[in-house]
Amino acid sequence: MDMSQPIGRTPLDETTDGLLGRPIDRVEGRLKVMGAAPYAYETRELKDPAYGTLVEATIAKGRIVTLDVTAARAMPGVLHVMTHENVPPQGPKKEQVGPVLTGPEIVHHGQPIAFVVAETFEQARAAAALVKAEYAVEKGAYDLRAAKPDAVEPKPMQTPPDSALGDFEGAFAAAPVKLDVEYTTPVQTHAMMEPHATIGSWEGDHVTLFTSNQMLNRGQVSLASVLNLPPGNVRLVSRYIGGGFGGKLQPQADAIFAALASKAIGRPVKVALTRQQEFHVTTRRSDTIQRLRLGADAEGRLSAIGHESWSDTTPGDGFFETSANATRSLYAAPNRMTKHRLATLNLPVSSSMRAPGEAVGMLALECAMDELAEQLKLDPIALRIRNEPEQDPEKQVPFSTRQLVPCMREGARLFGWDKRQPAGTARDGQWRVGMGMSAAARLNPLMASSAAIRLETDGSVTVRMAMTDIGTGTYTILTQIAGEMLGLPVEKVRIELGDTRFPKAAGSGGSFGAGSTGSALYVACDALRQKIARAADLTLDGIHFADGRVISGNRSEALADVARGGVIEAEGEIEPGDMTKKFSQYSYGAHFAEVGVDADTGEVRLRRMLGVFTGGRILNAKTARSQAIGGMTFGVGAALMEEVTIDQRYGHFVNHDLAEYHVPVHADIPAIEAVFLPELDDKANPLKSKGLGELGICGAGAALANAVYNATGLRLRHYPLTLDKLLAGFAAQEGTAQRRS
């Protein structure tokens, strides 16, 4: 089916206390804690593997003059050393997946220059250390601000890079109240638990890759292009993934090297990137420079909104951070302008990282709204409510659902927003205390997906699709959907995921995974229900499923009895249709944060945090909450600590490990809660659900930044808000106070 019209009443609407929505535990949880849910590198299905190790370039721009692999080849156990001089021919780049070892040119630090394969991991690593390269070094570009004047308008990515409505410049110039500010965000890295890893093996002209990848069918097509194979000759298997956050949307160098090396030596090859290699060899979130201009009347009604963003990526790539996209729909204003510009730097490739665009864009937009509220002497919530649009202000179509205002009001009530004090006035001993809030919004897409389901002769069902679970609970929610539709308990539902031999699926990413693949499963279950009814000679009117039985009128049959003559199979698929064109579809929420800032050291501590969200039908209350507070924690990291530091001399990421690239730990998150308001969205998908995976991060960091301002009276516009910036602000405050005295 496709989403060309709103969804009417469905079997999921019939029960109010069914399996779907309940906070059941992860169905694969026991396997994981017992070590029986192997990640890619741990699989034992491919026997007698060799081990591969990458060698990285130690310069950021230039050419390899000589590459000496003689000593490496002579090391014990070494089976193969691959360089640009002997790499097999490869096909063209597809999306952001391109051939490796393409020549002597180096365009960023850490670019792979060789791949060593040996009998053991230790032998491969030791041999890789003996690869010696001499370079002709050229001057590289590593600074976004320096490259900003030469940034260009990028090619569209799903949406145009620029948008305009009305006369922004004229309206802004004429506005009685104006705000014109610049915010910056740094390079960030995904820092997922499981590093990129692949085991590759060939049978004739078919290759199988056990790999860590979020979107298998997309990766299958990309790798087939690079490997010069038909897509059907490439099989990807990713049954369990230890996190991705967008870093595993595309196959990375580990997968390509594993495939090429396995072909070369005629046996499976295993490769896992080290944590240090993750920083340079895989993708990153770009740093951004963002200019926000808001024009309003004296009552706070916006007449002009302008949001310009600059980001960067590696030579030859076109990905840009869509920082201004959320600004296009969040607040009403008749005159609007958004622009994105892209600079080319000699840094690793930029790509999607959790909530690309909104995550960094709302760090700026939601703080700018707070600044405008302060200028107008308005409560920040009141300002947002005053600019609530009646329809999408740029697409000029209705919202499918929009409960942003209820989220803000309920959050204010639960958080005690009425106790917020004027900036710089609240104290708790040594700590300056403040509250901040922000809106949350994340696009809700629907992607084509399909599913197969089979009623077994014992009355259980088996579901198959090429979907992945990156730790978000996919196995569990799909179990709940099938169980709800067919009246089966959890233990009677088997979900098989993560294999391109199964029906094609959207994969995990963009907050579309659950809605898209869950909808495909819903359609498959609906088809199976009809086949079961016909097999049991029951009428479809009033049919329902419960306790492992199919029931119609005064007749009831056990599913095991219906399938006694053989398994019953059905398939289902979902297509986006045109609902996303007719309606503006977002998930919404509101963040509230309270922080303490040490008056002497400038240390910022989160004291408590609340998110109130709407995401359509909640498929599992426990996994939904987990996703929300995980995103909020991500936002805390973005606000207070996450930053890749670039050595401007050499284009090197200095803090390329988890000892110095700081992410929040338990002690950083003392009290955090997520609440969901009831909602069904019949324009979104057959489940009437919406995406939640990225909503929690959108705006979360801005709530902390606004709380820091409320605590200290300091408006910091350059993330992360580290203590050195606060100490400089304290010094400026003291200097101002002394001059006034």
**Domains of the chain, CATH where assigned:** 11-37+447-575 (3.30.365.10), 357-365+400-445+582-740 (3.30.365.10)
Per residue in 30-46, pLDDT tens? Answer: 999 999 999 999 999 99
Average pLDDT of span 249-266: 98
pLDDT bin (cut points 50, 70, 90) of residue 16 is: low
Q: What is the longest distance spanned by two Cα atoms in the chain?
A: 93
Average pLDDT of span 657-678: 97
The closest alpha carbon to 495, from 40, 10, 41, 26, belongs to 26
Contacts of 410 (CB under 8 A, 6+ apart): 590, 612, 675, 677
By the 8 A CB rule, do 165 and 336 touch? Answer: yes
By the 8 A CB rule, do 67 and 113 touch? Answer: yes
Amino acid identity of 20? L
Average pLDDT of span 183-210: 98
By CB atoms closer than 10 A (0-12, 13-18, 19+), residue 145 is exposed
Between vectors from CA 688 to CA 686 and to CA 694, what angle results, nearest 5°? 115
The closest alpha carbon to 598, from 416, 489, 438, 730, belongs to 730
| Residue keyed to tokens 């009677």 | 492
Contacts of 199 (CB under 8 A, 6+ apart): 40, 41, 43, 46, 49, 209, 210, 211, 258, 268, 269, 270, 271
Q: What is the 8-class DSSP label of residue 393? A: T
Per residue in 333-390, pLDDT tens? Answer: 999 999 999 999 999 999 999 999 999 999 999 999 999 999 999 999 999 999 999 9
Around Cβ 678, how many Cβ atoms within 10 Å?
9
Rg of the chain on CA atoms, in Å: 27
Per residue in 678-718, pLDDT tens? Answer: 999 999 999 999 999 999 999 999 999 999 999 999 999 99
Angstrom distance (rounded) from CA 38 to CA 723: 41
Half-sphere exposure of 216 (CA within 13 A, CB side): 30
Angstrom distance (rounded) from CA 152 to CA 66: 35
By the 8 A CB rule, do 249 and 218 touch? Answer: yes
Q: Which residue among 321, 388, 694, 734 is the active-site one?
A: 694
Angstrom distance (rounded) from CA 191 to CA 276: 11
- State the distance between the two ends of the chain, measured CA to CA, in whole angstroms: 73
Using DSSP's 3-state secondary structure scheme, residue 464 falls into strand
pLDDT bin (cut points 50, 70, 90) of residue 739 is: confident
The closest alpha carbon to 240, from 402, 43, 458, 25, belongs to 43
pLDDT at residue 14 in the model: 86
The closest alpha carbon to 315, from 345, 276, 341, 338, belongs to 345
pLDDT bin (cut points 50, 70, 90) of residue 481 is: very high
Around Cβ 573, how many Cβ atoms within 10 Å?
17
Percent of the chain with pLDDT over 90: 97
pLDDT bin (cut points 50, 70, 90) of residue 444 is: very high
Q: CA torsion angle for 163, 167, 169, 174 (degrees, to 10)?
A: -140
| Residue keyed to tokens 């990526």 | 313
The closest alpha carbon to 413, from 672, 612, 620, belongs to 612
Average pLDDT of span 621-642: 98
H-helix or E-strand spanning residue 407: helix 404-415
Amino acid identity of 419? K
Hey, what are 685's tokens?
């998908």
Average pLDDT of span 383-411: 98
Average pLDDT of span 142-157: 98
pLDDT at residue 119 in the model: 98
Categorise residue 361: left if φ over 0, alpha if ψ from -120 to 50, beta otherwise: alpha
Peptide bond connecting 348 to the previous residue in cis, omega within 30 degrees of 0: no
By the 8 A CB rule, do 307 and 393 touch? Answer: no
- In 414-492 the beta strands, taken as DSSP E runs, fall at 427-428, 431-443, 449-455, 461-464
Using DSSP's 3-state secondary structure scheme, residue 494 falls into strand
What is the DSSP pairing of strand 234-237 with strand 568-574?
unpaired
Average pLDDT of span 19-40: 96
Amino acid identity of 458? D
Around Cβ 457, how many Cβ atoms within 10 Å?
15
Between vectors from CA 95 to CA 275 and to CA 473, what angle results, nearest 5°? 55
Query: Is-catalytic flag, 491?
Result: no
What is the DSSP pairing of strand 112-118 with strand 50-56?
antiparallel
pLDDT bin (cut points 50, 70, 90) of residue 315 is: very high
